[in-house]
Amino acid sequence: MQALKDADGRVGVGFLDDRISRREFLKFCGRIAVLLGLSETFIPQIAEAIEKTVKNRRPSVIWLEFQDCAGNTESFTRANSPSVGQAVLESISLDYHETLMAAAGHRAEKAREIALEENKGKVIVVVEGSIPTKDNGVYCCIGGKTALQIIKEVEPYALVFVAVGTCAAFGGLPKANPNPTGAVAVEDVVRSKPVINVPGCPANPDVLMGILVHYLVFGRLPDLDAQKRPLFAYGKRIHDTCERRPHFDAGQYVLSFDDYGARQGYCLYKVGCKGPETYNICASWRWNLGASWPVKAGHPCLGCSEKDFWDRFTPFYERIPLISGFGVEGRADQWGKVAVGLAGAGIIGHAIYTGLVRKAEKKAEEIAEQEEKQASESSEG
Ligand code: SF4
């Protein structure tokens, strides 16, 4: 465990045993630039912004967990690129996180109070889980306070609320019919501060990293869509970037999970895929350094990053009847017959990202080599 201190002696959270190399760090900056839709020329700027933040005062982050499964915490801490986890976690001061912090009970609550007082108006508040409102919110209490009370207490100190995961962003599973606890989303209770939604079950950790880096580099939040989701990650429909899309267009569908189509990697629409109604970066950016995502592994998209997906998209293994967004509406049975050759766009989504990431990493290598050369020349001089 590595603990780095900033100018004020505040300890950052390093989950890894060793510092990453300069080369790895620059490659991370390259990948984040691609994720944010920036050109590789931004690599030095991103690196400088993160380094400056680590050396100076890290932004204070308070991570609140309410009605959740801690899946987003798991996702965030298991970002499998060492550089991603370390570079970003060391650029923030994670002052309160029940699951990760060593302190417990009143000491933990005190740590939150101190962090709030010391960073008034500048605290990045990450919320995981929905907020129960029924019966005065008694269904989720921490340190004798309801989730609702904690949100209201924290709100004046916050710079922004980041609702991570579908429960915090849209209410998620706790809000599903019949919603026994009166669960609501963060944006339903926060009135005076901006809210950014990062839905997903769990959210992709790289997206959260992207938001933090965007804030460090530009001093502002990324552009959002109508549902307050960052456009760089939620601007495209999964169906339009899915590698199985050519099969959809050709009318080739999996009909059961052990049939010929399943073995051939055919489209999963008829076994319940909600990709045509879901906006997220899963198909193009993927998970675990671009290794895979549920549809690639053979499971239909459940639409987990959409509002009320538990109510709208269940039963999960039955197909949604209509496909929208093509300029025409049609049932999948007919669609395959007319759409052959129209899209083929599926594979391009991930392929483009892969190409851009490789290019950015190559550029990062060049920058690192240049820096090494300059360092060795100046030491010889
Ligand atoms: S329906 Fe699902 S599996 Fe088929 S192309 Fe669309 S996103 Fe991919």
Check residue 8 and give its pLDDT: 52
Q: Residue 281: which CATH number?
A: 4.10.480.10
Check residue 201 and give its pLDDT: 95
- Residue 253 and residue 228 share a domain: no
Residues forming a β-bridge with 67: 130
User: Can you read off the two tokens belonging to residue 103?
Assistant: 């302190």
Picking from 234, 261, 285, the residue at the C-terminal end of a domain is 234
Ligand 1 atom with minimal separation from the 253 CA: 4
Q: What's the 289 CA to ligand 1 centre distance in angstroms?
A: 21
pTM, full prediction: 0.86
Check residue 335 and give its pLDDT: 46
Minimum CA distance residue for ligand 1 atom 4 = 267
Q: How many domains does the chain have?
A: 2
Residue from 243, 271, 273 to probe ligand 1 pocket by mutation (most atoms less than 8 Å from CB): 273
- Residue 256 and residue 199 share a domain: no
Q: What's the 337 CA to ligand 1 centre distance in angstroms?
A: 16
Ligand 1 atom with minimal separation from the 242 CA: 8
Q: Residue 370 falls within a domain, yes or no?
A: no
- Residue 82 and residue 169 share a domain: yes
Ligand 1 atom with minimal separation from the 275 CA: 7
Residue-number span of the structural domain to which 324 is assigned: 238-343
Report the SS3 class of residue 42: helix
Q: Residue 218 falls within a domain, yes or no?
A: yes
Q: What's the 240 CA to ligand 1 centre distance in angstroms?
A: 8
Block residue for tokens 């360092």 = 375
Check residue 367 and give its pLDDT: 94
Distance CA 84, CA 72 (A): 16
Q: What is the pLDDT along the chain (381 residues), one digit of tens a residue?
A: 344 444 555 444 333 335 567 888 888 899 899 999 999 999 999 999 888 887 777 889 999 999 999 999 888 776 655 545 565 667 788 899 988 888 888 989 999 999 999 999 999 999 999 999 999 999 999 999 999 999 999 999 999 999 999 999 999 999 999 999 999 999 999 999 999 999 999 999 889 889 988 988 898 899 999 999 999 999 999 999 999 999 999 999 999 999 999 999 999 999 999 999 999 999 998 987 788 999 999 999 999 999 999 999 999 999 876 555 443 334 454 544 444 344 444 455 778 888 888 999 999 999 999 998 888 888 776
- Residue 201 and residue 242 share a domain: no
**Ligand 1, residues at Cβ distance < 6 Å:** 238-239, 242, 244-245, 248, 267-269, 273, 275-276, 295, 301
Q: Residue 40 falls within a domain, yes or no?
A: yes
319 Ramachandran zone, left/alpha/beta (phi>0; psi -120 to 50): beta
Check residue 326 and give its pLDDT: 44
Check residue 84 and give its pLDDT: 52
CB 170 within 8 A of CB 185: yes
Check residue 324 and give its pLDDT: 52
Ligand 1 atom with minimal separation from the 243 CA: 8
Q: What's the 291 CA to ligand 1 centre distance in angstroms?
A: 18
- Residue 226 and residue 311 share a domain: no
- Residue 105 and residue 177 share a domain: yes
Q: Residue 44 falls within a domain, yes or no?
A: yes
- Residue 43 and residue 67 share a domain: yes
Please enumerate, as own/partner, the contacts of 255-264 that have beta carbons within 8 Å and a separation of 24 or more: 257/298, 262/298
Cα angle vertex 88, ends 84, 91, to 5°? 155
- Residue 266 and residue 197 share a domain: no
Check residue 235 and give its pLDDT: 94
- Residue 287 and residue 245 share a domain: yes
Q: Residue 62 falls within a domain, yes or no?
A: yes
- Residue 164 and residue 249 share a domain: no
- Residue 46 and residue 169 share a domain: yes
Q: What's the 128 CA to ligand 1 centre distance in angstroms?
A: 28
Q: Residue 83: which CATH number?
A: 3.40.50.700
Picking from 234, 253, 280, the residue at the C-terminal end of a domain is 234
User: Can you read off the two tokens belonging to residue 279?
Assistant: 């906006």
Q: What's the 314 CA to ligand 1 centre distance in angstroms?
A: 17
**Cα–Cα distance list, 111 to 16, 40, 114, 257 (Å):** 23, 39, 5, 50
Q: What's the 277 CA to ligand 1 centre distance in angstroms?
A: 10
Check residue 341 and give its pLDDT: 40
